[in-house]
Structure 1
Amino acid sequence: MSVKSAERVLRVFELLAQHGASGLTVKEISEALSFPQSSTTNLISTLYEEGYLEIQPSKRYKLGAKLIQLGSSARESLDIAAIGAPYLAGLMELTEETVFMAVLAGDELVYAAKIDNNRSIRTTARTGGRKPLYCTGLGKAFLAFMPDAESKALLDSIELTPITANTITVRDELDTQLGLYREQGYAIDNEENEEGLYCLAAPVYESGGRIEGAISVAGPKERMLRRKDSIVEQLLQTAGQISARLGG
């Protein structure tokens, strides 16, 4: 015997999967599935609050990154982490530092993958965990390489709270930095989220040319700076390889 509320959740997921990055409003979901709008509103609100859906500035909902935590086996052929895994492993071997991949989840990032090296620096980042956008290399890669209007809308909704002594909390300064990152093709976290951690991050694109995710190399600042040029080269090459696999 089926459970009506569970069926409705599955229908919402299936419907939003068909609409990808464009998403749907609550009214559009209600009409497409012939659900009462009041119960649809409550259902969508619950799924959003639990992290299973994301909302765009246009009030359109799309599938959320928390679904990654339910297991890659159900979507291994489409999972950016599964596609990127061999490339991330290769990047870790080349750089001998910790390598990450993240996707966007509302106004935060979610770690989709983490590969440690045997000399990895200790970090609070973990697969499935969330971090702010404005003070992480991965987050700033999203802000720098997504469409300007989306980046501005996200920054308008985020409070730039200091996390370390290096965290940038002045909007104009952050905007200038993001412009520089767009020009050079990669973003930097200079001990802005964790003391001692230096991170270089680059965007990964899907077939429509939009940023689909971001990858990074992170390690102790002094060690990273000694080999920055070679790490950047390897990082950008790997990001390009993963983008090519995604059709970007």
Structure 2
Amino acid sequence: MSVKSAVRVLQIFELLSNHPDGLTVKEIARGLSLPQSSTFNLVVTLFEEGYLQQDPLKRYKLGAKLIQIGTAAMDSMDISSQGVPYLKQLMDGVQETVFMAMLSDDQLVYIAKIDNNRSIRTTAQPGSRKPLYCTGLGKAFLAFLPEKERSRLLDRIQFVRFTRNTITDREQLEGQLTYFTELGYAIDDEENEEGLFCLAAPVFGADGVIKAAISTAGPKDRMLKRKAVIAKQLLHTAEKITESIGGHAKPPEQREDV
């Protein structure tokens, strides 16, 4: 069921996208056949939040905040479309479920999942969100992000225990992240879901900053038996996806400068 106010906001964006010189509130209301009073309230709210801008003639145009959102969406689609063929190859090679995820605010959002015919049940699905501190993909971001961004995210974490293995101590987590940086990939040892063991590696953009992470996940016993082989294929795939989007890994000593 659609929400009327949300639909109207989207209609305003679409209308203004066709009028780069901007429209007044009256023109927006007339163009969408909406009451001027309610249109005014929506437009002012969008303006105050940075989604619209206003010129000296009180005409409203699309705002800078939408550029950030659009850029993030383009990055997501580009990385996903570029990465999926490599993820399929990885799944064929390791015979385990493969994921790709991106950072969304202070959480992880899954953008791709390639199932194997012996996939285990998991709550992770494309579009779903999970915490950073207790997932392999999330810890890959925390391990390979620039130092300032990592600290900002760690400051915002509210540790919740999901399993008996969930790390709920910041100092312990930071020690683990240092190890993962040296290792080249992150590990989730049944920390978010019982029985699920995960290895995750970073995908870097053209600026040398992590843009996405990929992982392989499966039952712990099965994953541990082939951990070295899986890790090698995972890192190779992450490198291939990085190359495909024109990216490169920035040396750790330079990451705090970003």
TM-score interval, smaller chain: 0.7 to 0.9
1:243 maps to: 242
Tell me what 1:9 maps to: 13
**Preserved CA contact (<8 Å) 1:64 1:105:** no
1:52-88 CA-partner distances (Å, limit 9, x unpaired): xxxxxxx9x9328995xxxxxxx69952111001100
Q: For 2:170 and 2:48, how far apart are their aligned partners in 1?
A: 34
Q: 2:166, 2:84 → 1: CA distance?
A: 30
Instruction: Please list every run of 5 or more consecutive structure 2 residues that lacks an aligned counterpart in the other structure.
Output: 1-6, 21-42, 52-64, 248-258
Structure 2 counterparts to residues 193-212 of structure 1, below 5 A: 193-212=192-211
SS at match of 2:207: coil
In our comparison, the structure showing a higher alpha carbon Rg is: 2
1:132 aligned residue: 131
Deviation at 1:41, TM superposition (A): 2.7
Q: Match of 1:63?
A: 69
Partners of 1:9 and 1:43 within 8 A in 2: no
Q: TM-score, normalised by structure 1?
A: 0.75
RMSD value, Cα: 2.9
Cα pair 2:110 2:128 within 8 Å, conserved: yes
Q: Secondary structure at the match of 1:62?
A: helix
The answer for the alignment partner of 1:216 in structure 2 is: 215
Alpha-carbon separation, structure 1, partners of 2:76 and 2:224: 36
Instruction: Mark the CA change 1:118 to 1:65 in structure 2 (over 3 Å): closer, same or farther.
Output: farther
Q: Which runs of 4+ in 1 moved over 4 A?
A: 64-67, 75-78
Displacement of 1:105 after TM fit? 0.5
Calculate the TM-score normalised by the size of structure 2.
0.72
Q: Deviations over 1:146-172 (max 9, x none)?
A: 101101101101101111110000000
Q: CA deviation at 1:110?
A: 0.7
Partner of 1:103: 102
Match in the other structure for 1:22? none
Q: Does 1:41 align with 2:41?
A: no
Q: Which amino acid aligns with 1:135?
A: C
Q: CA distance change for structure 1 residues 4 and 115 in 2, over 3 Å: closer, same or farther?
A: closer
